[in-house]
């Protein structure tokens, strides 16, 4: 590969990794700033996933010119895939437990259609 192309790829990789790191920083700030459990779950899961994807893309761009075999990026693909599939489950379980144990801060919710629903069927919730 020509020198120039490698330089361009290097810069693209640099920008991707930097943007990913910034998003992860935002996630950290959000974790401190947001008031309640559910909003915190957002920051724990979200900017992080795009951040991680960007970092992975950056690493991939850096790897491709160095290694001739493109399939070595496979591990990166797997990391991204498993993160995307598992993070929603963690968020869902946390939210669910929060509701079932009454740890939801009603102050910070403008509208809560799930709580209305759960209150409508208290007998069902006892089980």
Partner 1 sequence: MIDARDRKRIGLTGLRRRLGKVQLPMALGMTLVWMLLFDGFQLRRESLGLLVLGFLVSVVIMVLFPLPPITPGPRFHPVHLVRLIVHVLTEMAVASFQVTVLTFRPGRVRSSVVAVRMRTDSDLTMVATAIAASIIPGTLIAEINRPERILYVHMLGADSDRTIEKGRRDVWTLEERFVMALGTHEDIAALRAGGPEELERKGGA
Q: Note the residues at the interface with partner 1 (CB under 8 A).
A: 23, 26, 29-30, 33-35, 38-39, 41-43, 45-47, 49-50, 69, 71-72, 74-75, 77-78, 84-85, 87-88, 91-92, 95-96, 99, 108-115, 117
Compare residues 10 and 30 and give the one whose CB is closer to partner 1.
Answer: 30
Phi, psi (deg, nearest 5) at residue 53: -60, -40
The residues, any chain, with a CB within 8 Å of residue 54's CB and separated by 6 or more, are 16, 17, 19, 20, 23
Smallest gap from residue 4 Cβ to partner 1 (A): 28
Compare residues 116 and 126 and give the one whose CB is closer to partner 1.
Answer: 116
The whole-angstrom separation of Cα 114 and Cα 104 is 11
Compare residues 7 and 75 and give the one whose CB is closer to partner 1.
Answer: 75
CA distances from 120 to 14, 75, 100, 124 (A): 53, 48, 14, 9
52, 83 in Cβ contact below 8 A?
yes
Compare residues 15 and 78 and give the one whose CB is closer to partner 1.
Answer: 78
Smallest gap from residue 16 Cβ to partner 1 (A): 13
Smallest gap from residue 58 Cβ to partner 1 (A): 16
């Amino acid at each position: 590969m020509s020198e120039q192309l490698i330089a361009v790829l290097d810069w693209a990789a640099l920008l991707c990794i930097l943007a990913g790191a910034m998003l992860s920083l935002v996630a950290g700030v959000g974790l401190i700033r947001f008031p309640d459990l559910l909003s915190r779950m957002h920051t724990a899961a979200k900017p992080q996933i795009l951040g991680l994807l960007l970092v992975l893309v950056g690493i991939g761009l850096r790897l491709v010119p160095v290694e001739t075999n493109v399939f070595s990026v496979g591990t990166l693909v797997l990391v991204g895939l498993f993160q995307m599939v598992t993070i929603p489950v963690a968020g869902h379980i946390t939210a669910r437990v929060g509701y079932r144990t009454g740890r939801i801060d009603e102050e910070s919710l403008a509208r809560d259609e799930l709580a209305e629903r759960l209150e409508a069927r208290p007998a069902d919730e006892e089980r």
